[in-house]
């Protein structure tokens, strides 16, 4: 059983277990021991963070634990999660860490690790770190403690890396884009990157103060971005989350382009250009049935993974697919980076618009969308609600009502004390009726358990 690591590292409310300075120090010691015990040289680990006020506290404590255990630490400051994945490889570090709670409010934070290859740590390594927390190793003698360094040009390196994903002669002069940086880690690099490539950039939410990350902005609240696109006559809008590993786009008409439609647009372009591998793409159990039908029309398979970009990535490596992602906007292009990357996704959409000589609204415009809705049931604490007989019966009855005319997915969140209920059907009335009744019965069961 996992006690601390979820689908995206350790995450929680700051100054409550486990997201405390004391825990971060212990985690630094445990991770430092597990990640370096087989290395012959003094290891290096890179730490990046988003713009949360608590990042300073968690960074200092984690750095103390890592250096105490003998690791040298490279501090890059505020940087997107995909930048840390890239810089870990580029700087030849033995591991990387991102301090971020992604799209969560400013009062939360998280700690997630990358291996030297830029991929998130396997489950087995995370479990080894958890076990080590219960029995911390002895501290090395004073002559073997590590040092900490600042990497001053980290964001500039990442900007150049993103530009290298495009043909050398490709620019986007004449395109106006709105970019909502969510007052997060991309507040500087996103406008700079798009401007250097020739875009007329309309920046939004690029003034982080430590407390306003994701506050009514970014990928979880893209409505303001959509309105600004229409107001300014922009060609596209891009809304990032706090650590910029996900992207929600909107077309020139101010209509949302979610992760499913982005995958459809990129898959079609990559197929036509001979760039798509694996004979299909990887999405999750949450992806719309319309995406599956659209890909089938192109002769491509849709492989469904459990929710979480780590599981999408695992299935991509198993199937040989180089494109995958989530409806929520995590898009992974393995030919470009080892994790979801919102800025690279934006660049590839702009490249598709340029190559196809079409507006964003026309890319994958014929992909059908089935009525779908997601409900979040708040839990008073982490609990196994799905094990309750009454909840199991309610889920079974909901599936019977759909009877092949739709599908549902009920799962606990990997990052928050919530139960996520997704219902999808060809008929919207059926979808809403089934979903509302199921959610009502689950909420009743939660109240009884509480």
Going by C-alpha positions, the residue among 60, 315, 63, 78 that lies closest to residue 184 is: 78
Which is nearest to 365 in space by CA: 301, 302, 294? 294
| Contact partners, residue 44, CB within 8 Å, separation at least 6 | 71, 72, 73, 74, 91, 92, 93, 94
End-to-end Cα spacing for the chain: 22
Instruction: Determine contact, residues 87/48, Cβ cutoff 8 Å.
Output: yes
User: Per the residue annotation, which of 54, 102, 287, 328 is the catalytic one?
Assistant: 102
Distance between CA atoms of residues 360 and 357, nearest Å:
10
Instruction: Quickly list H helices, 96-165.
Output: 123-134, 154-163
- Nearest by Cα to 170 from 147, 194, 143: 194
Among 34, 36, 44, CA closest to 90 = 44
Q: How far apart are CA 450 and CA 223, in angstroms?
A: 35
Q: Is 102 a catalytic residue?
A: yes
Residues labelled catalytic: 102
């Amino acid at each position: 059983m996992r006690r601390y690591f979820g689908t995206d590292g350790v995450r929680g409310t700051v100054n409550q277990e486990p997201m405390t300075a004391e825990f971060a120090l212990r985690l630094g010691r445990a991770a430092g021991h597990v990640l370096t015990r087989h290395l012959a040289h003094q290891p290096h680990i890179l730490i990046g963070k988003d713009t949360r006020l608590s990042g300073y506290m968690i960074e200092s404590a984690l750095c103390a634990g890592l250096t105490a255990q003998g690791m040298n630490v490279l501090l890059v400051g505020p940087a997107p999660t995909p930048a840390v994945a890239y810089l870990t490889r580029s700087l030849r570090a033995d591991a990387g860490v991102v301090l971020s709670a992604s799209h969560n409010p400013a009062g939360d934070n998280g700690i997630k690790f990358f291996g030297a290859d830029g991929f998130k740590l396997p489950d087995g390594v995370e479990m080894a770190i958890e076990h080590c927390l219960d029995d911390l190793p002895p501290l090395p003698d004073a002559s073997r403690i590590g040092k900490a360094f600042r990497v001053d040009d980290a964001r500039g390196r990442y900007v150049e890396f993103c530009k290298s994903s495009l043909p050398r002669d490709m620019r986007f002069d004449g395109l106006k884009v709105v970019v909502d940086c969510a007052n997060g880690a991309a507040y500087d690099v996103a406008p700079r990157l798009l401007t250097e490539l020739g875009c007329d950039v309309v920046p939004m939410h690029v003034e982080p103060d430590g407390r306003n990350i994701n506050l009514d902005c970014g990928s979880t609240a893209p409505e303001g971005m959509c309105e600004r696109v229409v107001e300014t006559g922009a060609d596209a809008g891009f809304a990032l989350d706090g650590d910029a590993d996900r992207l929600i786009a909107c077309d020139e008409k101010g209509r949302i382009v979610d992760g499913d439609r982005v995958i459809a647009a990129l898959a079609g372009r990559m197929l036509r250009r001979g760039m798509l591998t694996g004979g299909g793409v990887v999405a999750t159990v949450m992806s719309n049935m319309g995406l599956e039908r659209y890909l089938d029309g192109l002769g491509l398979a849709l492989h469904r993974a459990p929710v979480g970009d780590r599981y999408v990535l695992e299935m991509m490596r198993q199937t040989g697919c180089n494109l995958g992602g989530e409806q929520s906007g995590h898009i992974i292009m393995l030919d470009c980076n080892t994790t979801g990357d919102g800025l690279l996704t934006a660049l590839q959409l702009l490249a598709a618009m340029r190559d196809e000589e079409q507006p964003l609204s026309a890319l994958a415009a014929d992909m059908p969308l089935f009525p779908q809705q997601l409900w979040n049931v708040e839990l008073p604490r982490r609990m196994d609600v799905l094990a309750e007989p009454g909840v199991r019966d309610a889920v079974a009855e909901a599936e019977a009502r759909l009877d092949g005319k739709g599908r549902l997915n009920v799962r606990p969140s990997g990052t928050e004390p919530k139960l996520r209920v997704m219902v999808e059907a060809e008929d919207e009335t059926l979808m809403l009726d089934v979903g509302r009744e199921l959610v009502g019965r689950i909420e009743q069961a939660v109240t009884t358990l509480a």
